[in-house]
Chains A and B, each alone.
Chain A
Amino acid sequence: MGKTLFDKIWDAHVVSPVPGGMEVLYIDRHFIHEVTSPQAFDGLAERGLPVFRPGQTVATADHNVPTRDQHLPIREELSRFQVEKLTENCRKFGLELYGLGHPYQGIVHVIGPELGVTQPGMTIVCGDSHTSTHGAFGCIAFGIGTSQVEQVFATQCLLQSRPKRMRITVDGQLRPGVLSKDIILYIISRLTAGGGTGYFVEYAGSAIRSLSMEARMTICNMSIEMGARGGLIAPDQVTFDYLKGRKFSPQGADFDAATARWKTLFSDEDAVFDKEYNFDAADIEPMVTFGTNPGMGIKVTQSVPGAKPGENPATFGKALEYMGFESGESISGKKIQHVFIGSCTNSRIEDLRVVARFLKGKRKADHVTAMIVPGSQQVAAQAKEEGLAEIFQEAGFDFREPGCSACLGMNEDKIPQGEYCVSTSNRNFEGRQGPGARTILASPLTAAAAAVAGQVTDVRELMIA
């Protein structure tokens, strides 16, 4: 019987089975940031252990960093302390740090791929659930807790139970105005926020194959939002072209040898998945969320639904109350106060290009505050070079410096209590963007359209105009 891509990579990384069923898995690359690493470093220090393979770890500061005046010391004391602690730990343990002020600094899941650290066939972990992003390159990449960060520091290995395999196939051609963010919001709305729990997902089909690497990353990024351990896409020419010439990609003849190896990374035709879903790309429209988990999504043309059979009516009702929505009302036309374009889901150069193309010659509504936060210093530099930053400014958007920003309510960028934000981030949980903040997840195009219209709107109407 054939093997799935997931099993091919997993099997190649098993150091040893553990009695009872778990396995010791070797980890090729370890990304760290300031929030989930300090206790792991302390654990090493307490045991008197070094980092076992420092060359396989890359560090950056992203969650706590301000997105203005990064050349100045961080104002918020605890944030500054956490970022300084990372710098101190990296120095002490001999790790490469792309910290504030470094030209490679940025959101950990943006810089890994853009530097070519992320490569097909690897196992990649980070103390961050959106590590699933790296699966876009045909990797087993998943988020871990701080105890596991310590384990990878000390042994470059983790104890893992093998998840089940799921394949989600999207065939057909995407409609105009529909981006990969809409594909993944659509998938999660169909599977629910817990529908992928216990599984590792492979995304396949012609609609997925047609996507750029940036768009594929957006899809894999949100695998965790349906509870999946991770999601991956078989590497192909799009992947190889993206990686060629990047800082840490293999160079010259080594790149050709690597490509030959990467070409063996696909699910065999007779491979069996524990669960399969098939969707038609033509059924996907611009999506928005109406509730407080990413599974609560609808087409922007639809009305806010009621609780479905099997959904807990109390939990559902609480979500609508938090959001200030009622079942049956149209989501399109809902007045909003903020737009956030950024996060590890949608802050790459392609996202910014799509937004700039749409915004050119348009202006945000007066009552909306709109910000665009590039995912990395490299993205920021490129956006300036291509003239995108200028377009954003002319449209009334605030073009910031790189970081996680308003995705998670941890740094200075927060959405005020009770106000609505159309956001390209990944989580619409209660309080995610700040206590009481109301998040509507959407694609970069739908978010930009909301800024211009001052309300939730179908971007396609503005594209025709």
Chain B
Amino acid sequence: MEKFKAIKSSAVPLPAEDVDTDQIIPARFLKATTREGFGDNLFRDWRYNSDGTPKKDFILNNPVYAGDILVAGKNFGCGSSREHAAWALYDFGFRVVVSSFFADIFKGNALNNGLLPITVSPEILDEIFLAIESNPGAEFSVDLENQTLELPVSGKKVSFDIDPYKKTCLLNGYDDLDYLLSLKDKIEQFERERGVVI
């Protein structure tokens, strides 16, 4: 996993709520056996007509909106556990997703792939959508070290929560697997004590 760096970027607004991972990456694109290239089909059926032409009214096809940050309505990433959703968002270029809450599995998958999910209150989320609407190019700053999201214009700094261990992983590019492998002795001891039949 790549290290998470401080971000200063404009944001893409997607106010839809309950965006499920079937929208983020439809099942018919899950047949690849590698992690790369899913960005091409990110939001495939919202982004393209069936003949492959772009849908003009979809936000990712609007040249006014761009950036490393996706701002979405509540319950983003619900549904299927497909990690391909996190891969697709990252591959497309997003490094941060902001919402008022995330589906649990998606949140875990995002964190395991260097994609930072930032949870803000519904009021702040509305404020962010308004800020983007009034000036689509305005830049937000994300400081993971200090756990703050700075809004444009007002300069308001919003604090966000993140598990301290996951924060360390993101900042240093560590995987959970490295950590788990370092506990091999403890795991074997647990198995012996519990009488796990191997």
Please measure, in the bound complex, the distance between the C-alpha atom of A75 and the C-alpha atom of B186, giving whole angstroms: 47
Band of interface residues on A: 35 or more
Q: Which residues of B contact A194 (CB under 8 A)?
A: 18, 74-75, 78, 101, 103
Asked whether B105 lies within 8 Å of A15 as measured between CB atoms, the reply is no
Question: Per a CB cutoff under 8 Å, which of A18, A39, A78, A227 touches B103?
Answer: A227
Give the A-B pair count, Cβ closer than 8 A: 195
* Binary flags per residue of B24-53, CB closer than 8 Å to A gives 1, else 0: 001110111111000000000100001000
Asked whether A314 lies within 8 Å of B75 as measured between CB atoms, the reply is no
Asked whether B183 lies within 8 Å of A155 as measured between CB atoms, the reply is yes
Q: Is B2 an interface residue (CB 8 A)?
A: no
Asked whether A147 lies within 8 Å of B176 as measured between CB atoms, the reply is yes
Question: For chain B residues 106-120, which have a beta carbon within 8 Å of chain A?
Answer: 108-109, 112-113
**How far apart are B138's CB and chain A's nearest CB, in angstroms?**
23
The segment out of A20-28, A104-112, A165-173, A267-275 that lies at the interface is A20-28
Known: A15-B187, A82-B33. A429 touches B79 (CB 8 A): yes
Known: A143-B81, A293-B78, A430-B22. A85 touches B33 (CB 8 A): yes
Q: Is the interface of A mostly helix, strand, loop or mixed?
A: loop
Q: Which residues of A contact B104 (CB under 8 A)?
A: 163, 197-198, 227, 229
Q: Is A38 an interface residue (CB 8 A)?
A: yes
Known: A20-B164, A150-B177. A314 touches B16 (CB 8 A): yes
Q: Is B64 an interface residue (CB 8 A)?
A: no
Asked whether A409 lies within 8 Å of B103 as measured between CB atoms, the reply is no
Asked whether A79 lies within 8 Å of B74 as measured between CB atoms, the reply is no
Asked whether B22 lies within 8 Å of A21 as measured between CB atoms, the reply is no
Asked whether A410 lies within 8 Å of B27 as measured between CB atoms, the reply is yes
Asked whether B165 lies within 8 Å of A36 as measured between CB atoms, the reply is no
Known: A193-B18, A417-B50. A42 touches B34 (CB 8 A): yes
Question: Per a CB cutoff under 8 Å, which of B34, B78, B179, B198 touches A193?
Answer: B78
Asked whether A408 lies within 8 Å of B27 as measured between CB atoms, the reply is yes
Chain B residue nearest to A16 (CB atoms) is B186
Question: Per a CB cutoff under 8 Å, which of B33, B81, B190, B198 touches A81?
Answer: B33
**How far apart are A161's CB and chain B's nearest CB, in angstroms?**
6
Please measure, in the bound complex, the distance between the C-alpha atom of A155 and the C-alpha atom of B30, giving whole angstroms: 26
Q: Is B73 an interface residue (CB 8 A)?
A: yes
Question: Per a CB cutoff under 8 Å, which of A53, A63, A311 touches B198?
Answer: A53
Band of interface residues on B: 35 or more
Q: Is A344 an interface residue (CB 8 A)?
A: no
Q: Is B80 an interface residue (CB 8 A)?
A: yes
Question: Per a CB cutoff under 8 Å, which of B17, B22, B45, B105 touches A315?
Answer: B17
Q: Which residues of B contact A115 (CB under 8 A)?
A: none
Known: A21-B164, A24-B180, A312-B15. A129 touches B113 (CB 8 A): no
Q: Which residues of A contact B32 (CB under 8 A)?
A: 78
Please measure, in the bound complex, the distance between the C-alpha atom of A78 and the C-alpha atom of B28, giving whole angstroms: 10
Q: Which residues of A contact B105 (CB under 8 A)?
A: 129, 142-145, 224, 229
Asked whether A315 lies within 8 Å of B18 as measured between CB atoms, the reply is yes
Q: Which residues of A contact B175 (CB under 8 A)?
A: 147
Q: Is A332 an interface residue (CB 8 A)?
A: no
Please measure, in the bound complex, the distance between the C-alpha atom of A87 and the C-alpha atom of B122, giving whole angstroms: 47
Please measure, in the bound complex, the distance between the C-alpha atom of A208 and the C-alpha atom of B16, giving whole angstroms: 35
Question: Per a CB cutoff under 8 Å, which of A22, A47, A318, A409 touches B27?
Answer: A409
Q: Which residues of A contact B198 (CB under 8 A)?
A: 53, 55
Interface centre among B22, B30, B74, B104 (most CB of A within 10 A): B104
Asked whether B75 lies within 8 Å of A155 as measured between CB atoms, the reply is no
* Binary flags per residue of A5-37, CB closer than 8 Å to B gives 1, else 0: 000000010011011111010101000000110
Asked whether A435 lies within 8 Å of B50 as measured between CB atoms, the reply is yes
Question: Per a CB cutoff under 8 Å, which of A39, A127, A148, A224 touches B35?
Answer: A39
Known: A22-B165, A144-B105, A429-B20. A42 touches B33 (CB 8 A): yes
Q: Is A219 an interface residue (CB 8 A)?
A: no
Q: Is A441 an interface residue (CB 8 A)?
A: no
Question: Per a CB cutoff under 8 Å, which of B81, B109, B187 touches A26?
Answer: B187
Tell me the B residues contacting A by CB distance below 8 Å: 15-18, 20, 22-23, 26-28, 30-35, 45, 50, 73-75, 78-84, 86, 101-105, 108-109, 112-113, 163-166, 175-177, 179-181, 183-184, 186-187, 190-191, 194, 196, 198
- The 10 A-B residue pairs with the shortest CB-CB distance, nearest first, are A20-B164, A194-B75, A145-B83, A143-B81, A38-B33, A78-B31, A145-B109, A410-B27, A20-B165, A129-B81
Q: A43-B177, A146-B84, A227-B104 are in contact. List 16 more A-B contacts (CB 8 A).
A: A16-B186, A19-B165, A21-B163, A22-B163, A26-B196, A42-B34, A129-B105, A147-B113, A147-B176, A151-B177, A158-B180, A293-B18, A311-B17, A312-B73, A408-B80, A427-B79
Tell me the A residues contacting B by CB distance below 8 Å: 12, 15-16, 18-22, 24, 26, 28, 35-36, 38-39, 42-43, 47, 53, 55, 63-64, 78-79, 81-82, 85, 127-129, 131, 142-148, 150-151, 154-159, 161, 163, 193-194, 197-198, 224-225, 227, 229, 293, 295, 311-312, 314-315, 318, 408-410, 417, 427, 429-432, 435-436
Q: List 16 A-B contacts (CB under 8 A).
A: A16-B186, A26-B191, A55-B198, A63-B27, A64-B31, A79-B31, A145-B86, A148-B176, A154-B180, A163-B104, A293-B20, A312-B15, A315-B18, A408-B27, A427-B20, A435-B50
